[in-house]
Copies of this chain bind each other. A is one copy, B any other.
Amino acid sequence: MLWFTEQHKDSGLIIKTKSYKEYHSEYQRIEVINTRRYGKILILDGLIQTSEKDEFIYHEMLAHVPLITHPNPKDILIIGGGDGGIVREACKHQNLNITLVEIDKQVVEVALKEFPSISSALKNDNVKIIYEDGSLFIKNKKAIYDIIIVDSSDPISHSKSLFSSKFFIDAKLALKKDGILAFQCESPFLHLNFIKKTKKTLSELFKIVKYYLAVIPTYPGSLWSFALASNTFEPKMNSKKLKRIQSLKTKYFNEEIYQACFALPNFIREKL
């Protein structure tokens, strides 16, 4: 019997595995396991990126919170996210031009082949895919995007540059004046100092910097944080947003979650 194990700091997750495939790209090892508990799971360099069973939580929360916070989003840049989950969620909103910048073409190819339910929107007419390092792509872009969503793996290896001050400055310049930056920001149980550091950097660049939470059982620590930064738009509910949220077909996100996700437990609030 095969067990996949992902271990962090003296603890980990084990998942019984029915089948296993391995690919090697220029950037990383790509593994796909099939499990009864979580369906198919995409693993990059040994770390779970997404599972068929719980991917909706991460993708809905990273996509819809910034998309709803902006009253009229049009031009969207997604950095990373080669599995297509963020693109799929973004495509639930009307009239978006979506640019996906993924460093690793093979991630997109594996997603199209192995994860059709996640990658389903990657071939939509309003989606343009560019294969490039996101931190290089974004340089010298001026006031182009309403929203930039960074759907990266952990801040190590080729994803490290997506959490640097330099990247946040480039992202701010690439955003229109009222644009919104959102990114996954690791687990408050394991990486609270890292989250704090990103908040400090963002707060020097944006007037409104908020962190929000969701639970993702296959991620280390399970509690996951996301950052939202803007100079203009607060993530507050109003009747227009309510109508937009209710028109979305979602399994996790709803109008209550849109507000509740910003409530931070004391141990996080006090640190930030």
A37 within 8 A of B: yes
CB–CB A265/B254 < 8 A: yes
Of the four ranges (under 10, 10 to 19, 20 to 34, 35 or more), the interface on chain A belongs to: 35 or more
CB–CB A13/B10 < 8 A: no
CB–CB B269/A265 < 8 A: no
A256 within 8 A of B: yes
Stretch at the interface among A22-30, A123-131, A217-225: A217-225
- Contact digits for A239-272, partner B, Cβ 8 Å, 1 yes 0 no: 0000000000011111011011111111101000
CB–CB B222/A250 < 8 A: no
Q: What is the CB-to-nearest-CB distance from A252 to chain B, in angstroms, rounded to a whole number?
A: 4
* Bound Cα distance A253, B268 (Å): 11
* Bound Cα distance A228, B173 (Å): 48
Q: Which residues of B contact A222 (CB under 8 A)?
A: 215, 217, 222-223
* Bound Cα distance A12, B257 (Å): 27
Residues 4-37 (chain A) with a chain B CB within 8 angstroms? 5, 7, 9-16, 35-37
Q: How many copies does the complex hold?
A: 2
* Bound Cα distance A262, B261 (Å): 11
CB–CB A37/B10 < 8 A: yes
Pick from B7, B254, B265: contact of A257, CB below 8 A. Answer: B265
Q: What is the CB-to-nearest-CB distance from A17 to chain B, in angstroms, rounded to a whole number?
A: 9
Q: Which residues of B contact A11 (CB under 8 A)?
A: 13-16, 35, 37-38
CB–CB B263/A257 < 8 A: yes
Q: What is the CB-to-nearest-CB distance from A175 to chain B, in angstroms, rounded to a whole number?
A: 28
A194 within 8 A of B: no
Q: What is the CB-to-nearest-CB distance from A134 to chain B, in angstroms, rounded to a whole number?
A: 29
Residues 119-150 (chain A) with a chain B CB within 8 angstroms? none
Pick from B16, B35, B57, B266: contact of A265, CB below 8 A. Answer: B57
* Bound Cα distance A217, B222 (Å): 6
CB–CB B15/A13 < 8 A: no
Q: Which residues of B contact A10 (CB under 8 A)?
A: 15-16, 35-37
CB–CB A264/B256 < 8 A: yes
Find the B residue at minimum CB distance from A188: B215
Q: Which residues of B contact A263 (CB under 8 A)?
A: 254, 256-257, 259-261
Subset of 24 A-B contacts with CB under 8 Å: A5-B14, A9-B36, A10-B15, A10-B35, A11-B15, A11-B16, A11-B37, A11-B38, A12-B14, A14-B14, A57-B265, A215-B215, A215-B222, A217-B221, A217-B222, A217-B223, A252-B265, A252-B266, A253-B266, A254-B266, A257-B265, A259-B260, A260-B260, A260-B261
Additional A-B contacts beyond A5-B14, A250-B266 (6; CB < 8 A): A10-B37, A222-B222, A251-B265, A252-B266, A256-B264, A260-B261
